[in-house]
């Protein structure tokens, strides 16, 4: 299931939908809150891990979702229009919960407009991020990748500051994570939040959050 | 405490900060996710009630906050930049929780840019909302109010569809809610979510959400 509303600038898809399927389905000039790369678990996996490569707050771009809690309960949280959202919303705790709250079923993300788009790569590391941050920034081995969209001139400015060469097409990183995507010291990918490694290791869970999970 | 970062397009303020103080402090061309009206409880009250008059998803515009849970625990949730947000985020359950999760201390909201701005009012009711929705829409007695910002031409288009007359300055609705702002059948204000009444009545709380609140 993959539905895009250009008018409302939202996309709703089943959790297993590959990220690149969403990119392929978008109309010209609308962009999702993730870069054009394929990662384990599709959209649901991405949301469960709290995003990849975003230099903005990914949690705010997830408008709603349904998930199966560890108790077996199906929980619908958030929405896609204001009428569906009456408060008491459990969307954001799910984003970045690394499976502790259960398994995503369907996810709605916000789309944003832009007439310009670019993806560049160059040698570099995240220790020295560019001054003008692109919307998406990640390190793959010794290469730094930047993806930006928005006003044409703003994209030109960000990419001029970043340097590097244009990357055509999309990247599939799934083969780097045969045992699933988690955090870890020796992973092949970095972003500003984590180093991403093969396996399902999650960041340390605050005790308070465990209590919330147990309540669901 | 009221801090505005035009570069990051965020505003962080203590919970009691009046909404109109935030409007007054904003640089030209940046707007908050609420209309230029004063409501009980300032920014913290607004977030606790889940917003007022938004025709978009207000919960996604609250990037982070700190709150005192009923247990007395001070909880910091979300953030204002991606580095601060490592998942396990309790921001969104607080938005629209009507006090069930405790009392807000400090709130960070996203600001959005726009060169055009307009506030119109005309006789009408929310039973018949305009086709081109403004960002903020509410009913005050027998008058409908619309506030929009964004591209100049888009603002013109939305206001032409809405009609009515320009409203100068801001509105203070606090006197209409001497016992606090809650939901109720006979309140003076409506938006697309609720009819807002004097008193602190909250919408019905799902049992699941009570369990989450008890865990905090």
Per-position pLDDT tens, chain B of length 216: 999 999 889 999 999 999 999 999 999 999 999 999 999 999 999 999 999 999 988 988 999 999 999 899 999 888 766 665 667 889 989 999 999 999 999 999 999 999 999 999 999 999 988 989 999 999 999 999 999 999 999 999 999 999 999 999 889 999 999 999 999 999 999 999 999 999 999 999 988 889 888 888
Q: How far apart are CA A69 and CA A73, in angstroms?
A: 5
pLDDT digits (tens, 9 = 90+) for A35-65: 999 999 999 999 999 999 999 889 889 999 9
Q: How far is B176 from chain A (nearest CA, A)?
A: 22
| Beta-strand pair A136-140/B37-38 | unpaired
Whether A170 contacts A37, CB under 8 Å? yes
Using CA atoms, how far residue A135 sits from A47, A131, A192, B9, in Å, is 17, 12, 12, 14
Going by C-alpha positions, the residue among A128, A141, A147 that lies closest to residue A56 is: A147
Class (C level, CATH) for B2-112: alpha beta
Q: What are phi and psi of A214, to 5 degrees?
A: -65, -25
Q: How far is A36 from chain B (nearest CA, A)?
A: 19
Q: How far apart are CA A145 and CA A138, in angstroms?
A: 5
Residue B69 tokens read as: 């849970």
* Structure ipTM: 0.81
Going by C-alpha positions, the residue among B140, B82, B18 that lies closest to residue A194 is: B82
SS3 content of chain A, % helix, strand, coil (to 5): 20, 30, 45
Q: Which of A 135-194 lie inside 8 A of B, CB atoms?
A: 192-193
Q: How far is B123 from chain A (nearest CA, A)?
A: 23
The whole model's pTM is what? 0.89
- Asked if the C-beta of A134 comes within 8 angstroms of chain B's C-beta atoms, the answer is no
Q: Which of A 63-102 lie inside 8 A of B, CB atoms?
A: 63, 73, 75, 78-83, 85-93, 95-98, 100
Going by C-alpha positions, the residue among B91, B119, B105, B101 that lies closest to residue B34 is: B119
Per domain, the residue ranges of chain A are 2-112
Q: What are phi and psi of A114, to 5 degrees?
A: -175, 140
């Amino acid at each position: 299931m993959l539905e895009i509303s250009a008018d409302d600038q939202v996309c709703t898809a089943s959790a297993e939908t590959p990220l690149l399927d969403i990119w392929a389905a978008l109309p010209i000039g609308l962009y999702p809150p993730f870069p054009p790369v394929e990662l384990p678990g599709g959209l649901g996996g991405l949301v469960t891990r709290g995003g990849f490569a975003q230099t903005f707050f990914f949690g705010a771009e997830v408008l709603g979702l349904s998930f199966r809690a560890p108790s077996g309960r199906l929980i619908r949280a958030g929405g896609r229009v204001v009428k569906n959202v009456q408060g008491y919303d459990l969307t954001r705790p799910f984003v970045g919960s690394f499976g502790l709250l259960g398994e995503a079923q369907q996810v709605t993300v916000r789309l944003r407009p832009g007439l310009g788009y670019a993806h560049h790569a160059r040698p570099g590391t995240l220790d020295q991020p560019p001054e003008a941050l692109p919307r998406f920034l990640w390190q793959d081995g010794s290469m730094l990748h930047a993806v930006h969209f928005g006003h044409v001139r703003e994209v030109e400015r960000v990419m001029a500051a970043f340097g590097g060469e244009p990357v055509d097409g999309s990247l599939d990183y799934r083969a780097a994570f045969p045992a699933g995507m988690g955090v870890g010291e020796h992973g092949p990918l970095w972003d500003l939040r984590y180093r991403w490694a093969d396996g399902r290791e999650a960041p340390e869970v605050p005790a308070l959050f465990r209590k919330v999970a147990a309540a669901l």
